[in-house]
Structure 1
Amino acid sequence: MRLSVLDLDFDTLPEQLDQPEGYDGAVVLLRLDGLPCGQAVVWYDQYDPDIPLARQLAQAANSSFWERWVAREMGVPAAEPIPHRQPSVAIAICTRERPDDLKRCLDGLLAMSIQPPIVVVDNAPRTDATRDVVAQYPSVRYVVEPRPGLDYARNTAFDQAEGEIIAFIDDDAVPDADWISCLLRNFDDPLVMAATGLTMALELESEAQVAFQKLGGFGRGFKRVTYDAVVIDPFDSWKAGAGVNFAVRRSAADIVGRFDLALGAGTTAQAGDETDFFRRLLAAGYKIVYDPQAMNWHRHRRSMEELERQIYGYECGSFAILTKALLFERNPRALARIVRWWRYQIPALLRSARKTGGGHLPFRIPVVQTRGACAGPGGYLRARQKARQA
């Protein structure tokens, strides 16, 4: 299955949708007055060019689009923050040996409506490919972090990037034109320590990319939400946003500590670094704002092998965080979370074992998740010991 990815304003739609050969349909980001407010999935075998496109998109649109459309028709203005001042900001890209993705990301950043300084942190490079890409952009600063691990790179960004706010974007993501300005507008409240945004699929060219999007992708919805420890359990901090798209106050590192070097990509814990950082912010009484207008586009992993590793890594990272909270923070609630996870996972494993055939994936998700969860505690302990020896 292949799907087109389209970005359309509902008020200025084309007369018809193009139907490129080899594609089964399209995932359409819907905007109203230029602002992202919902999405629709259109299947080409059901698309009728004789019916107005607006009608077909409206029928396929999700509830977020309709809520915003009804509010606009009733004259209810969108609840958008109006900042009194814009804090200084720097953008950090932590990367390793993905020059093509990095170039696309930098091109997008330099096309934004405002131009803050950009720092590229090259994490344990094996070649000069990243350096060569950055050399094409005189305004972009290049920094090497020789120790492998995403959080070594992120902590280096705290040291090297100048600004009250540090905005992080993955090298395989591309920002929307107003990405950084929409993130920054959420920091008027001094209790807001981080802001996150909506991430849409940049392409859906492979079965693995479509499958990841069906599983939820990086989507967190189209409504702006302010999270604190009252709204969500800090252990559910992943709901507040993803590491592909977030900004954080520099002072947050002084308050709750830096990113944990025993978590994240490049460690035996696999993932969980920004989730743990968000968890600590919420547990300390601070807020995180999810603002869907701070949007970027992510190139999902293209192969099933990469998707399987990604699902495995997320669960490994999740249990690494629980291990950290239980053993090193003496938080008994972590044990309750572990018990609750297994309470739901064991039935999922049994249901998966009873199913015949592999479905649309060449692996069983509950099995992969369980393998990751079992590897998480040991992965964290090994990564923690390695980080202490570094």
Structure 2
Amino acid sequence: MNGRQFSVVICVYTEERWEDILAAVDSVRNQSRPAREILLVVDHNERLLARLTERFTDEEEVRVLANAGPRGLSSGRNTGIAVSRTEFVAFLDDDAVAERDWLRYLASGYDDPRVMAVGGRTLPAWASGRRPDWFPEEFDWVVGCTYRGLPPGRVRVRNVLGGNASFRRTAFDAAGGFATGIGRDGDRRPLGCEETELCIRLSQVLPDAVLLIDDRAVIHHKVPAVRERFGYFRTRTYAEGLSKALVSRSVGAGKGLEAERRYTTRVLPTGVVRGLRDALLGRPGGAGRAGAIVAGVAIAAGGYVRAAVRARGGGATFSSGPIPSLPEETPGRATAAPEVAA
């Protein structure tokens, strides 16, 4: 494990998260297992690019880059992969902080050479200081966090969760990068599933590949007040349905919905029963949680159907492809990488 070096990619897009970005960088700097480099990839925001470049000019371990591809999280991640200089690449959300042993636990998962990806556990840091009574833990993926239904410990999974994940570089050599046209574009398109599509594609290319989640590799992800409201819950679950349809189109419905079938037939019904039981016992939010689960399933299904119909008519596209190798550049300066196809 001692010889494994990590590049940590943090994709950023807005100055409104300035303090969050600095906190994310500091959490990586303070790791018990130091990263070789921290790559800040700025998504088509010249002011933020200039400000971060000035802030980190004299700090060799931090490099500031311009997203070289189309706007969006997938292209930002691909830009980071392209310029990274290590055998392992980890990803951290720009509004999250990693616990001190985050990288140490991610690294320990690669003892088996078959392991191509290792993810961790993401806990919500609610702006209000507490989980809204109506918000079911089964839907914590709505706010980018680990949700009820995932098995505990270090376990083999179909896909890791993108805001707290790492990959062996050879995974990208084999499968290419993150697909564009699926993932999030700042706050404008709350889509997702780009890591799901990549992981399924990776397993198709390398059938013996092992993907793990180790729940000791913990990060804390900020949940702003607007995302504690049902309006965001509704928008995000609908977008998830859209994204799942695109993933199914890419890798087939069998693989694309394999984990979701168990989730919707076992995890969610149990959550509804739990919520109704809490309501009968007079516990706050029980009926709301049960109702949110039912609504979330229905809304996501609506998004899936709409996207599937559009896809059959040629209305939805995305691309995938290899990550190019790039020459090294001067540390601490903003760099524009050539265009990257996801």
Question: Structure 1 212/277 Cα, relative in aligned 2: closer, same or farther at 3 Å?
Answer: farther
The normalised TM-score by structure 2 is 0.69
Question: Structure 1 330/176 Cα, relative in aligned 2: closer, same or farther at 3 Å?
Answer: closer
- Aligned-residue offset at 1:297: 1.4
Letter in 2 for 1:277: L
CA distance in 1, matches of 2:219, 2:35: 16
Whether contact under 8 Å (1:316, 1:374) holds in the other structure is no
Partner of 2:338: none
- Aligned-residue offset at 1:275: 1.9
The answer to whether 1:119 aligns with 2:45 is no
Letter in 1 for 2:300: G
Letter in 1 for 2:6: V
Partner of 2:301: 373
- Aligned-residue offset at 1:245: 0.8
Partner of 1:53: none
Residue deviations 1:239-291, cap 9 Å, x none? xx422211001111222232111211128681111122222334433111222
- SS of 2:51's equivalent in the other structure is helix
- Aligned-residue offset at 1:208: 5.6
- Aligned-residue offset at 1:195: 0.5
Question: Structure 1 365/135 Cα, relative in aligned 2: closer, same or farther at 3 Å?
Answer: farther
CA distance in 2, matches of 1:268, 1:260: 15
CA distance in 2, matches of 1:177, 1:343: 37
Whether contact under 8 Å (1:149, 1:264) holds in the other structure is yes
CA distance in 2, matches of 1:299, 1:273: 21
Q: Percent identity?
A: 22
Residue deviations 1:181-234, cap 9 Å, x none? 22112112221000011223345625666765744633356512234xxxxxx4
Which segment is superposed worse, 279-288 or 136-145? 279-288
Whether contact under 8 Å (1:202, 1:297) holds in the other structure is yes
Which segment is superposed worse, 336-345 or 180-189? 336-345
Partner of 1:275: 196
CA distance in 1, matches of 2:138, 2:132: 10
- Aligned-residue offset at 1:164: 0.9
Residue deviations 1:326-357, cap 9 Å, x none? x4545556688888888899999x999xx9x9
Question: Structure 1 265/210 Cα, relative in aligned 2: closer, same or farther at 3 Å?
Answer: farther
Question: Structure 1 377/205 Cα, relative in aligned 2: closer, same or farther at 3 Å?
Answer: same
CA distance in 2, matches of 1:285, 1:318: 29
- SS of 1:174's equivalent in the other structure is strand
Partner of 2:119: 196
Residue deviations 1:12-37, cap 9 Å, x none? xxxxxxxxxxxxxxxxxxxxxxxxxx
Whether contact under 8 Å (2:197, 2:256) holds in the other structure is no
Unaligned runs of 5+ in 1: 1-82, 228-233
Question: Structure 1 131/206 Cα, relative in aligned 2: closer, same or farther at 3 Å?
Answer: farther
Partner of residue 65 from structure 2, selected from 143, 147, 154: 143
Unaligned runs of 5+ in 2: 280-284, 321-340
Letter in 2 for 1:184: A
CA distance in 2, matches of 1:167, 1:118: 10
- Aligned-residue offset at 1:160: 1.5
The answer to whether 1:224 aligns with 2:146 is no
RMSD of equivalent CA atoms: 4.0
CA distance in 2, matches of 1:377, 1:178: 42
**How many correspondences in the alignment?**
290
- Decide which structure has the larger Cα Rg and report it: 1
- SS of 2:180's equivalent in the other structure is coil
The normalised TM-score by structure 1 is 0.61
CA distance in 2, matches of 1:338, 1:200: 21
Partner of residue 100 from structure 1, selected from 19, 26, 31: 19
Question: Structure 1 334/150 Cα, relative in aligned 2: closer, same or farther at 3 Å?
Answer: closer
Whether contact under 8 Å (1:208, 1:307) holds in the other structure is no
